[in-house]
Amino acid sequence: MKICFLAVGGELLKGRIVNTNLTQAGLMLREHGYNFTREVVIPDDREAILKALREELQENDVIIMSGGLGPTKDDITKKTIAEYFQTGFREDTETMERLRAFFEYRKIPFTDKNAAQALVPENCEVMINKKGTAPGMCFSVNGKLLFSMPGVPFEMLYLLEYEVLPRMKAAFPPLFYQNHILRVWGMPESFIADRIEKIEKSLPESLDISYLPRLDGVWLECTLKGNIAEKKPIAASLEHAVSLIKEVLTGYVYTEGQLSLPEEILALFTQNQLTLAVAESMTGGNIMGKLVQISGTSAYLKGGFTVYFTEMKTRLLGIPADLIEEKGVVSEEVATLMASKVRELTGADVGLSITGFAQKPDKTTSAQAWIGYSDKSGDCAKHETFISDREVNISRAVSGALIFLLRNVQELIEDTTV
Amino acid sequence: MKICFLAVGGELLKGRIVNTNLTQAGLMLREHGYNFTREVVIPDDREAILKALREELQENDVIIMSGGLGPTKDDITKKTIAEYFQTGFREDTETMERLRAFFEYRKIPFTDKNAAQALVPENCEVMINKKGTAPGMCFSVNGKLLFSMPGVPFEMLYLLEYEVLPRMKAAFPPLFYQNHILRVWGMPESFIADRIEKIEKSLPESLDISYLPRLDGVWLECTLKGNIAEKKPIAASLEHAVSLIKEVLTGYVYTEGQLSLPEEILALFTQNQLTLAVAESMTGGNIMGKLVQISGTSAYLKGGFTVYFTEMKTRLLGIPADLIEEKGVVSEEVATLMASKVRELTGADVGLSITGFAQKPDKTTSAQAWIGYSDKSGDCAKHETFISDREVNISRAVSGALIFLLRNVQELIEDTTV
C-alpha cells in the first residue's frame, strides 16, 4: 500500500520552519499500522501543486496533503485542487455556522475573506475541523483517497486522528504491526550488523531491523508485521528474535524502548528516593542542562558545579592541585575525586562527574573524557573517546555520562534490594 | 532554476527522526542565493530510489541527495545510483587511505564492509568527506548535477558547504544577493510588522523582509537581489533601508548579523580580557552548556554553579535562607545576590545568574525568570516571562540571559574606555 504525505509550504523549503508535521503524522500512522512510503514538499505555487496532484494520484493509494488552506492570498491549495478536478465550489453549511459562531464569540468582524473558508470544491466530503477555521477535505478518486488539511500542526493532527484515519481504515484495513527497540552504546553500527548477520538464519525472514545511529547510541528497531488474526504468534516470534539479538549484543544494550535517558533517570531516582549532584568540566553544564529539560527533575537533581578552568576544580571542589599536576586534569583519579567531592559538598546520594577534551587538544591526543561516579558503596570511573567535532563530542559525552549513571544506579538499587 | 532535495531514509517517513537536514540545507542554500523548489523523501528501497532519480533528473537542474550511504545492508543508495547509471564501481584511493588511517587510529579491525565504503560508481567525482567515513559523490548528467551525501547532519552540512555549493556556483551562477539581519528581542513578530508597515513607502519596493521567529528572538532578514553589475547601488539601497527599519525598532535590536550569541560573547570577553562565572537555577546548566559549544570558551568561562534545589542556593552560594523566605526564590533580590556571590566565589570579573519557573508552578503564576548580573561597577537584574512549554521556555531563558549579559558587558567596556 502506497501512502504519500504532500506538504505545501515554501517556508519548509526555505529552512524557516522544521517539518515536524511529517514526523508527527508518521508516528501516528505507525501506531495504526500504516507507513508513509513517500513525502513530497512543494511551494505554494499553482504549477507545483497541479504537477504533484497529477503524479502522486497516479502512484499512490492515499495522499495526505497539508498546508496552504489559510485565508491569505498566498494560500492557494483549495483553489488549485478544484482546478485540478475541474469542479466549482459550494458553501458548506456546517463550516459556515461554525465560522460565524467563532467570530461572534471572539467579537471580530466577519469579512468575505473569512466567509470564503466555508467554500469547498463540489466533489469533496468536508471533514469538520474542530481546532481551527479551515475545513479538512476528502476526495475519492477511482478507489484512491486524497485528503487536504491545514498545515498548523495541532489542526493537522486532530484531523488526521479523528477524520482521516477512520476513512483510511474503512477503505484499506491495516496490517497488525509489532516492534521492539534495543538501544546500544559503545559498538559501531557495522559491528552490530556483523554480529546479527551471524545469527540471521535463526531470525524470522520477515523481521525488519532498522539501525538508527543517534547521539545516545544506535537504536535497533525490530519490527514484525502481519494479519491481525496472527497477533499472538507474531508477538511471540518477535520476543524470541529480540532475545537472540540481545544475546549477541550482551553488555552493549543499555536499555530498551523509547524512554529518553532523562526520563529513565528521573524514574529511577524518584522511585528509589535518591538525589543526584553533578560536577562538569568538558560538558560545561550540558549534563545537568539535559536532565532539567523534563518536568519532575527538581525532585532529585540537587545541583552541582561547572569547573571549567582547572583552577576552579581546586577552588570550588577542593581537588588537590598536586593530584591534577601529577595525574593530569583528564584522568581517572581526578574524575573519581570530582564525583565523590560533589556528592560530599551537596549531600547528594549519588555524584556524577566528567573531565575531558571536547576536541583534540593537540595532534597526538584524542578528544576524550573520564566519567566519574560515586555513591555510598564506592567510586568508579570510565573512559570514552570521541571522533567527531566539538559539538557532537559534547553531546556524546553527555550520553556516555548518563548511560554510566544509569548502569551504576541500577546496580546500587539491586545491591540494596538484595 | 529548479533544485530538488532528495532525502533517502525510512526513519524520516516513520517519524523516528525529524528532517532537520532540509531546514539546515535550505538555510545554507539561501545564504548563497539559491532556493529549493521541491523536496522528496523516500525509503531505503531500490524501486523508490530508481523512480525518484528518473523523475527528478528529468525535472530539476540540481538534485541534492542525502542518506543511505552507511555500511549496513539497509543502506543501498550508492548501489542503486550505480544501477541507475548502469555503471560499475572503482576504488577511490584517497577515501581508502582515509578509512585505513581512521580505523588504525581508533584501533578497530578494518573489515570488508568498511573497505566497501571506498568503492564508488565509475562515473562519479568523489567529494572527500572530512567529517565521516562515507564519501560524497557528484554526477554530471546532460548539464545537470546530482549530488549524493551521507544523511548524518554535520557530514551533510560540511559537504554541502565545501563541496556541493562551489560546484553549483560554477555551473549555475546565483543572482547577486545582499542581505542584512537585524535581531530583535522583546517584541512579537506582528508588532514589528506593524511598525515596519508604517514606513513601507520609504523602503525599496523590491526589498524582501522575512521574519524568522527563533528561540533567540525574531531575526529580520532584509534582502535585495539583482544582477552582479548593480552590486554597488543594491548595497547602498539596502543599507539605507536597514537604517530606517532600525530607527523604528530602537531599543529592541540587540545585535545584527549571523554570529551566534556564544560567538559574540566569546569575542567580547577575550578581546577585553574578562572572565565570567554563572549561577543557574531554572536553566540547570544550559547557559554554560550553550557557551561551551564553541571553541575558545576555556579562555574566559571560569565555571559556576547549578543550584537547582533551593537549599543549594544557601549551601553552595551562601544566599541567606531568610532572604529566600522573605522575597521568594524567584525574585530580583535573589537573582542579584546569586550573580554577585558567584563572582565572589570564583574570582571572575563578571557574574551572571538566573532563577525562575520553567513551567507554570500553579494556575495564577506564570513561567518566568529573574536574571542577575554583577561586575565591579555594580549589580542589576531583569525580569522575563515565558508562554510556551518547558523546553522552549528554558531555551528562551538562556537567550534572555545571554542577551542581558551582552548588553551589560558592552556597557562595562564603554564605561571603562571613557
Q: What CATH number does the domain containing A353 carry?
A: 3.90.950.20
Domain boundary among B199, B222, B256: B256
ipTM of the complex: 0.80
How far is the alpha carbon of A222 from chain B, nearest alpha carbon, in Å? 13
- Percent of chain B residues past pLDDT 90, beyond the cut: 75
For B192, residues 6+ apart whose C-beta sits below 8 A from its C-beta are: B184, B211, B218, B220, B249, B252
Q: Do B302 and A289 touch (CB under 8 A)?
A: no
Same domain, B219 and B126: no
d(CA B397, CA B404): 10
pLDDT at A139 over 70: yes
Asked if B285's CB is within 8 angstroms of A280's CB, the reply is: yes
| Residues in chain B within 8 Å Cβ distance of A387 | 102, 106
CA distance B234 to chain A (A): 22
Res B119 pLDDT > 80: yes
Q: Do A303 and B309 touch (CB under 8 A)?
A: yes
Are residues B356 and B296 part of one domain? yes
Contacts of A36 in chain B (CB under 8 A): 13-14
Amino acid A111: pLDDT: 78
Shortest Cα distance from B101 to chain A (angstroms)? 13
Per-residue pLDDT tens over the stretch A102-137 = 888 777 778 777 888 899 999 999 999 988 888 999
Q: Do A221 and B16 touch (CB under 8 A)?
A: yes
**Residue contact B309–A291, C-beta within 8 A:** no
The partner residue sitting opposite A284, judged by closest CB among B35, B288, B295, is B288
Mutate to test the interface with B, among A5, A6, A16, A290 (most CBs of B within 10 A): A16
Helix (H) or strand (E) holding B184: strand B176-184
Residue type at B136 in one-letter notation:
G
Co-location of A180 and A166 in the same domain = no
B109: nearest CA in chain A? A191
Chain A CB contacts of B33 under 8 Å are: none
- Interface touch B38/A36, C-beta < 8 Å: no
Contact assignment for A288 to B308 by CB distance below 8 Å: yes
How far apart are the CA of B403 and the nearest CA of chain A, in angstroms? 19
- Structural domain boundaries enclosing A222: 176-256
Mean pLDDT of A170-192: 90
- Residues B316, B389, single domain; the answer is yes
Instruction: Work out the average pLDDT over B110-130.
Output: 91
Please give the share of chain A, as a percent, with pLDDT higher than 70: 99
Q: Find the CATH number of the domain harbouring A235.
A: 3.30.70.2860
Q: Is A118 exposed, middle or buried (0-12, 13-18, 19+ CB in 10 A)?
A: buried
Q: Are residues B249 and B293 in the same domain?
A: no
- Top residue of A308, A316, A394 to mutate, by most chain B CBs within 10 Å, is A308
* Cell digits of residue A70: 489559510
Q: What is residue A295's predicted lDDT score, i.e. its pLDDT? A: 95
Interface with B, mutate which of A13, A317, A368 (most B CBs under 10 A): A13
- The pLDDT-based confidence of A22 (bands split at 50, 70, 90) is very high
* Residue that wins the pLDDT comparison between A36 and B231: A36
Q: Which three three-digit cell numbers place residue A380?
A: 568508579
What is the rounded average pLDDT of the residues B330-345?
98
Identify the domain boundary among A239, A256, A273. Answer: A256
Count of the separate structural domains present in chain A: 3
H helix or E strand, kind and range, residue B196: helix B189-198
Same domain for B395 and B304: yes
pLDDT tens digits, B277-326 = 999 999 999 999 999 999 999 999 999 999 999 999 999 999 999 999 99
Nearest CB neighbour to A42, from listed B27, B38, B307:
B38
CB B317 within 8 A of CB B374: no
Cell reading at A215: 547521539
Q: B413 with B276, same domain?
A: yes
What is the per-residue pLDDT for A131? 84
Q: pLDDT averaged over chain A?
A: 93
Chain A positions in Cβ-Cβ contact with residue B276 (cut-off 8 Å): none
Q: C-alpha cell of B283?
A: 536553566
Say which CATH number the domain at B40 has.
3.40.980.10
Which position has the grid cell 537584574? B381
**Do residues B166 and B232 both lie within one domain?**
no
Rama region for A296: left / alpha / beta (φ>0; ψ in -120 to 50; rest): left
Same domain, B242 and B118: no
- Cα A79 from Cα A14, distance rounded (Å): 23
Neighbours of B333 (CB within 10 A): 16
**B292–A283 C-beta distance less than 8 A:** yes
Q: Secondary structure of B203-249 in the HEC alphabet?
A: CCCCCEEEEEEECCEEEEEEEEEECHHHHHHHHHHHHHHHHHHHHHC
A71 and A138 part of one domain: yes
- Given B229, B256, B283, the domain boundary residue is B256
Q: pLDDT tens digits, residue range B67-77? A: 988 877 778 99
pLDDT classification of A74: cutoffs 50, 70, 90? low
Residue A418's pLDDT band (cuts 50, 70, 90): low
CA distances (Å), origin B123, targets A284, B41, B93, B165: 47, 25, 15, 20
Please tell me the distance from the alpha carbon of residue A296 to that of residue A265, in angstroms, as a whole number: 11
* Residue B408 pLDDT class (50, 70, 90 cuts): very high
Predicted local confidence at residue B210, as pLDDT: 79
* pLDDT tens per residue, range B147-169: 999 999 989 999 999 999 999 99
Same domain, B194 and B252: yes
In chain A, residues with a C-beta closer than 8 Å to the C-beta of B341 are none
- What phi, psi does B294 have (nearest 5°)? -110, 155
pTM: 0.80
Residues A243 and A268 in one domain: no
